[in-house]
């Protein structure tokens, strides 16, 4: 058996550990090291047999990595990705790719100049049912697409300490739906209207909101509704529904019944695809330039809803 692709993880918090659970069964990819500055978290990760370093610099200096997953707070994504790219190591970075589209584009240019793979971890592109739906739409099986509804309602809000570094609800959550709509329909955005829900119930979460909606007009005439919320007691729910002149499709990507299983499978497929991309295969995931465009649209929604992006 050929050796597995060796990944380093930056940030062993909530999402970093989800990646670790997802990779336990991969025959192609393994996580061997973690950069995690928070000592009690580092201790737990060490007890799982991982080499844990307090900084990214120390993890990179130890060497032996084929690629890195970044799952640190959003407002550090681009700076951390830049460090890893400069060390010549391929990067799979969690969404969103930072908070500023301009910074995301600079990192994309650096990766291209250095010849280093840089992929953004929008895992919906690795949900088999969504991949099949995209093929059906491209083949015209649903006829002319009239409308898409994408929704993501989380079981409960994350901690205020997370939200205050997240860019706010459209940049933190909405980017998944925006990326999904653009990818499924292969159309550009022409116009947006967004309305945020009432201010958050968490007084420490600055000026974030707990729910937000958006209506997006697309370049070939279809429309999309994006529905986001932070309260769905019982478990997270993610759905995508497409209405065409010759057919329709509704996919429950995640539900309280499915739990995290569909996401874990998609994260494994994503990491394995990233490993192939780092070795020279074309990217099947989201590029940094696509992620920059998604950030720009999320910012337009934020402006349209008149909610301020939270300070990092
Ligand atoms: N793709 C998804 O569905 C999804 C879901 C949840 C979170 N995320 C993304 O993952 C990222 C992390 O979110 P989270 O919920 O895990 O946050 P978290 O706060 O639980 O974890 C972040 C971890 O990064 C560590 N960290 C902070 N600075 C660091 C640094 N400089 N180097 C190394 N580690 C550092 C923290 O100590 C913490 O353990 C966010 O960008 C978020 O948007 C993506």
What is the pLDDT, as a whole number, of residue 311?
55
- Contact by Cβ (8 Å): 210, 200: yes
For ligand 1, mutation pick of 8, 10, 13 (most atoms within 8 Å of CB): 13
Residue, of 2 and 295, whose pLDDT is higher: 295
**For residue 183, how far is its CA from the centre of ligand 1 (angstroms)?**
25
What residues line ligand 1, using a CB cutoff of 6 Å?
10-16, 35-38, 41, 56, 71-74, 76, 94-95, 121, 123, 162, 172
- Write the pLDDT tens digit of every residue in 234-255: 999 999 999 999 999 999 999 9
**296, 281, 136, 144: which is closest to 216 by C-alpha?**
296
Per-residue pLDDT band at 309 (split at 50, 70, 90): confident
What is the pLDDT, as a whole number, of residue 40?
96
Statement: residue 312 has pLDDT above 90: no
**For residue 17, how far is its CA from the centre of ligand 1 (angstroms)?**
9
The ligand 1 atom at the shortest distance from the C-alpha of residue 12 is 39
Per-residue pLDDT band at 207 (split at 50, 70, 90): confident
| pLDDT average, residue stretch 180-191 | 97
What is the pLDDT, as a whole number, of residue 2?
67
What is the pLDDT, as a whole number, of residue 310?
65
**For residue 81, how far is its CA from the centre of ligand 1 (angstroms)?**
14
Domains, the chain, with CATH or none: 5-124+263-287 (3.40.50.720), 128-257+293-304 (3.30.360.10)
What is the pLDDT, as a whole number, of residue 122?
98
**For residue 184, how far is its CA from the centre of ligand 1 (angstroms)?**
27
- Contact by Cβ (8 Å): 168, 212: no
Q: Is this model's pTM higher than 0.95 or not?
A: yes
């Amino acid at each position: 058996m050929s050796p597995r692709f060796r990944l380093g993880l930056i940030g062993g918090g909530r999402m970093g550990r989800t990646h670790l659970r997802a990779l336990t069964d991969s025959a192609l990819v393994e996580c061997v090291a973690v950069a995690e500055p928070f000592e009690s978290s580092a201790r737990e990760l060490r007890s799982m047999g991982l080499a844990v370093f307090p900084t990214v610099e120390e993890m990179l200096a130890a060497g032996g990595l084929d690629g890195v997953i970044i799952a640190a707070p959003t407002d550090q994504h681009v700076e951390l990705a830049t460090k890893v790219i400069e060390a010549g190591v391929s990067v799979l970075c969690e969404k969103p790719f930072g908070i500023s589209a301009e910074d995301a584009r600079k990192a994309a240019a650096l990766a291209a100049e250095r010849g280093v793979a840089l992929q953004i971890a929008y895992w919906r592109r690795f949900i088999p049912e969504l991949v099949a739906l995209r093929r059906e739409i491209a083949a015209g099986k649903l006829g002319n697409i009239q409308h898409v509804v994408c929704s993501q309602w989380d079981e409960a809000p994350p901690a205020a300490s997370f939200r205050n570094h997240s860019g706010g609800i459209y940049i933190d959550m909405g980017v998944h739906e925006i990326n999904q709509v653009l990818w499924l329909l292969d159309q550009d955005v022409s116009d947006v209207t967004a309305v945020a829900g009432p201010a958050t119930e968490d007084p420490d979460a600055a000026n974030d909101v707990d729910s937000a909606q958006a209506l997006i007009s697309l370049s070939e005439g279809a429309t999309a509704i994006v529905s986001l919320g932070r309260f769905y007691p019982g478990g997270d729910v993610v759905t995508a529904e497409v209405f065409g002149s010759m057919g329709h499709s509704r996919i429950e990507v995640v539900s309280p019944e499915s739990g995290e299983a569909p996401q874990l499978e998609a994260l494994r497929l994503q990491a394995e695809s990233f490993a192939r991309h780092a070795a020279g295969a074309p990217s099947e995931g989201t590029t940094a330039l696509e992620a920059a465009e998604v950030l720009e649209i999320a910012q337009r929604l934020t402006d349209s809803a008149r909610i301020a992006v939270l300070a990092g």
